[in-house]
């Protein structure tokens, strides 16, 4: 059977407090928090170095 991915089309939404993000969670912690609840997120980010800076902050599994 295939693996199901559930996620969002972004993660930087302060309006999602407190329904999704804890009320006092700092914006810089939105992505790591999302990674604890979902297994996918769409990030529209272009970088010249080729490495996504967020991928270094998240554990893979």
Residue 55 lies in a domain: yes
* Residue 1 lies inside a defined structural domain of this protein: no
53 pLDDT higher than 50: yes
By the 8 A CB rule, do 12 and 42 touch? no
Quickly state the pLDDT bin for 49 (edges 50, 70, 90). Answer: low
Residue 6 lies in a domain: no
Would you say residue 8 lies in a domain? Answer: no
pTM of the model: 0.66
Domains contained in the chain, number: 1
Confidence of residue 61 (pLDDT cuts 50, 70, 90): very low
Structural domain boundaries, residue 26: 22-61
pLDDT digits (tens, 9 = 90+) for 15-36: 999 999 999 999 989 988 988 8
pLDDT tier, 59 (very low <50, low <70, confident <90, very high otherwise): low
Cβ-count burial 30-49 (b if 16+ within 10 Å, e if not): bbeebbeeeeebeeeeeeee
């Amino acid at each position: 059977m295939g693996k199901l991915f559930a996620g969002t089309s972004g993660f930087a939404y302060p309006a999602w407090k407190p329904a999704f993000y804890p009320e006092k969670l700092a914006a810089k912690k939105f992505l790591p928090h999302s990674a604890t609840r979902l297994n996918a997120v769409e990030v529209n980010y272009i970088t010249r170095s080729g490495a996504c800076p967020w991928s270094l902050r998240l554990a893979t599994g």
